[in-house]
Amino acid sequence: MFRSFLVMSDAYLALEDGRVVEARGRAPGRTRGELVFTTAYTGYEESLTDPSYEEQVLTFSYPLIGNYGVRAERFESDRVHPRAAVAREFTDEVVSWLAEEGIPAVDHLDTRDLVTSIREEGAMKVGIAAGEDATPEDAKAELAKCKGMSDHVDIGAQVSTPELTTFEGDGDTTVALVDCGAKQSIADSLVERGATVHVLPYDASAEDVSALEPDVLFISNGPGDPKNYTATRELVEDFAGEIPLAGICLGQQIVASALGGTTEKMAFGHRGVNQPVRDLQTGKVVMTTQNHGYTVADPGEHLDVTQINVNDDTAEGLESEELDVITRQYHPEAHPGPHDSLGFFDDVLSMSDSAGNGRKRRIIAD
C-alpha cells in the first residue's frame, strides 16, 4: 500500500522547558507544535487522522505503534493531522505512510519521560528536526516559531469541509452536523441509525442551517480553543430553544459558551481510550474515548452537568431538558475505544421525536 521508507537518521526535539531530546528520524522534516500524548494502545490510524490533533505533535505512550498495519478504511478523515508523530518504536509500514503524507516521525526515545514531563509541567511547545542533516539548532529554530500558535483563530478553516456534504440515511430524521473538525465516524453513527446527515462548514450561516430544516443541530469535535469558533457559537445562539442541539468534545464547549458558560485550557488534557466517566443520576461509570485540551469550567445557568470525569471531576456531559440540549465531552462513537456510550446517538435522535414544531419556548436572551 505504501512505498518502503527505511532510512534512519538523526532527530532532535527542542522542548519548551529548555531540553533537547535526541531521537531516531524515521520520516524526515522540520516542524513544530503543541506536544501532547495519548494513552491509547490501539487505534493509531484513527488517532493520526483525527482532525482534533491539528497543529499538535502526537506522542504515543504505548511503546510499539503499527503492529497491525495501516488500512485506509479505518481513517477518520482524508489526511494525517498532527504535525509530527513520536513513539518508542514505529513499524516500517506506519513510517512509510507518514512519510508519504509529509509528516515527520521520530522514535527510539524515552516516551515515558516525555509523558511524565507533560503531566507534571503541562502540554508544551516543541520544535522537531529529523533527517540526515538535522541538528539541535534546527529543532530550536522550529521551537522559536511557535510564538503565537495559541492565538490561531482560523484553525477551523484547516479542518472543516469546504462545502455542504450529505450522507443519506433510511429514516425520517435530518441532522445538520456543523463540521469543526468532525470525525467521519460521527456521521456514520447517525446514518447507521437512519438519520440523513448534512455536514456544513464550521462558519455556516443561520440561513444555511434553516434551509435544511433539520430536526437536530449537531456541533462536532475539532481542534483548538472554542473561543475561536465565533460563527459556530452564533449558530447555537440563533437556534437554542428552537431546535434540539447536540455536541461532542469541542461541540460541548461551544454549546456551553454560547449559552452563558465558560471554558478553560487544561494542563495536559484528556487523550486516550480509558477515561472513566460517571453519570450523576445513575452512578454508573463507563470507559470513554477522549481527545481534548479544553474543558467547560462553568456550564452557566441554562445547562446542567449530568456526567463528570472520575479522575478530575471535569464536566463530561451537559443537558437542558427545557432547551432540548445534550452534549458529551468524550467521543461516544469511539473509533478507537470502548463502545460503552454509543447510546448517546440514540438519545440525540430521540430528541427530534419529542421536540414538536414550535413547542419549545425561547429562553435565551437575544
List active site positions: 249, 331, 333
Cα gap 35→109, rounded to integer Å: 15
Cα 185 versus chain centre, distance: 12
Residue with cell 465558560: 262
Cα gap 2→359, rounded to integer Å: 55
Task: Say whether 77 counts as a known binding-site residue.
Answer: no
Nearest to 29 by CA among 99, 81, 114, 111: 99
Task: Say whether 62 counts as a known binding-site residue.
Answer: no
Cα 322 versus chain centre, distance: 28
* CA distances in angstroms from 194 to 53, 348, 349, listed in the order given: 29, 12, 9
CB-CB neighbours of 294 under 10 Å:
20
Spell out the residues 6+ positions from residue 233 whose beta carbon is closer than 8 angstroms to its own.
Answer: 226, 254, 257, 258
H runs (alpha helix) in 184-336: 184-191, 206-212, 230-239, 250-258
Task: Say whether 291 counts as a known binding-site residue.
Answer: yes
Task: Say whether 253 counts as a known binding-site residue.
Answer: yes
Task: Say whether 250 counts as a known binding-site residue.
Answer: yes
Edge-to-edge order in the sheet of strand 245-248: 165-167, 196-201, 174-179, 216-219, 245-248, 325-328, 315-320, 304-309, 262-279, 285-298
Task: Say whether 329 counts as a known binding-site residue.
Answer: no
Element (H, E) at 155: helix 155-159
Helix axes 343-355, 184-191, angle to 10 degrees: 60
The C-alpha cell at 200 is: 456544513
By the 8 A CB rule, do 37 and 14 touch? Answer: no
Task: Say whether 68 counts as a known binding-site residue.
Answer: no
With the CA atoms of 355, 345, 250 and 358 taken in that order, what torsion angle do they form, in degrees rounded to the nearest 10?
A: -10
Per the annotation, where are the binding residues for L-glutamine?
Answer: 52, 222, 224, 250, 253, 291, 293-294
Per the annotation, where are the binding residues?
Answer: 52, 222, 224, 250, 253, 291, 293-294
